[in-house]
Structures are given as structure tokens and as C-alpha cells.
A = this chain, B = another copy of it.
Amino acid sequence: MARVPRQNRSKATVDAIIQAALMVLAKEGPNAATTRQIADLAGIGVGSLYEYFDNKEAIFEAAAKRFVDDTVAMIQPLAPRLVRMEIRDLIHELLYNFRDFLEKNDQLYLRCARHAFTIDMAVYQEPINRVLMDLFMQYLLYHPELTKLKNIPAAIYCYINGSVYTVVKHLSEENSIISFEELVTALADMLHSYTTTELVK
């Protein structure tokens, strides 16, 4: 039976397991990843895995949660600055930060994200989408003229989902036909043109 660890020692072990799970996930993908690999990388015995998690899936859930929390934690502090920017600059700033986040630690998170777009894992994407949605909502407060846009929720829904997927896919491509800068500019321009023309009749 998995227990909630309260001591520091335990917390450190849980952390090591999650970190190891992320690394194994990044390297092998979710199918090939084994509990033995995770335990070895975490520097503990396989049995200990089950002291902290009910089963393998619970470990991956925790790893996914970690990924999502870190992503949210990366975005949230940017908000105060972003909401005051011109829309195209916002997108630039946001996506370059997103890229840096994905590529740090030898692309640890990028390689995890590659496997994350199975729609089954959409539950985990939810918080990321929400924080981005919040960002855009706050943006509206600072730019009230935009509230006249048609069907804002639908537009945001499309833009967020499409952009996140497109960025991850692009970064995962060995030889893309376009550069990251071109990608970002295109995404920025698309949102900019939308916000300047699609007003409610």
C-alpha cells in the first residue's frame, strides 16, 4: 500500500523516483520504460518503488504531474509582464520561454512532451491549457478593446491547443522546413491579425 511520505528522507526518495521516471520516459518512451530502470536510476531497490507508489502507472502519473506543474510554474510568473505587452511580443516572449523550458536538461521535458499528445494524456495537459487561458483572460483586462472579439473562448481554445502542439512538434523535428523564429512569428502574426479584425458585428 502506498503511503504519503512525510519525512524529508521519504520526500527526497519520491523526488528521485519522479526524476528518474521522467528521464526514463524521455529516453525510452512510456512503453519501453521499466520499473527496474526507474529504480536503478533513482538509486533504490525495485521494492522501494512500491513503498511510495501503488503501481507503475501511479509513478507515471506523478511524473506527468511534475511536468505539468513545472510548466505552469514556468508560465505563471511571466504573466504580470506579458499582459502588458503588445500581443505579438507576448507570443514571442512566451514561446521562447517555452522553448528554453523544453530544451533544458538535455531536452528532458521536450522528449517527455513528445509522448504526451496522446489524447489519453489530455487530462494532464489541462492545467497547462488553463494557465494559458488565464493568461489570455488577464490580457483582456489590460486590453479592454479586445473584449469585442467574436467568440473569445473558441478562439483561445483553438489557439492554445494548436500552438502548444505545433511548437512541440517543431522542436522535435530534426530538419524542419521552417525555423523556430519563423514559426513564432507566424503564430504571433496569426493572433495579431485575428485580434485586429474579428470583432463582433
Measuring CB to CB, which residues of chain A are less than 8 angstroms from any residue of chain B? 29-31, 114-115, 117-120, 122, 150-151, 153-155, 157-159, 161-163, 165-166, 168-170, 172-173, 177-178, 182-183, 185-187, 189-190, 193-194, 196-198
Contacts and interface: CB of A to CB of B under 8 A. Distances in A.
A119 B122 contact: no
A120, A159, A166, A168, most chain B CB atoms within 10 A: A166
Contact of A30 (B31, B163, B178): B31
B183 A154 contact: yes
A186 B157 CA distance: 9
Closest 8 CB pairs of A and B: A162-B162, A117-B117, A114-B119, A154-B186, A154-B182, A193-B197, A165-B165, A161-B166
A45 to B, nearest CB: 13
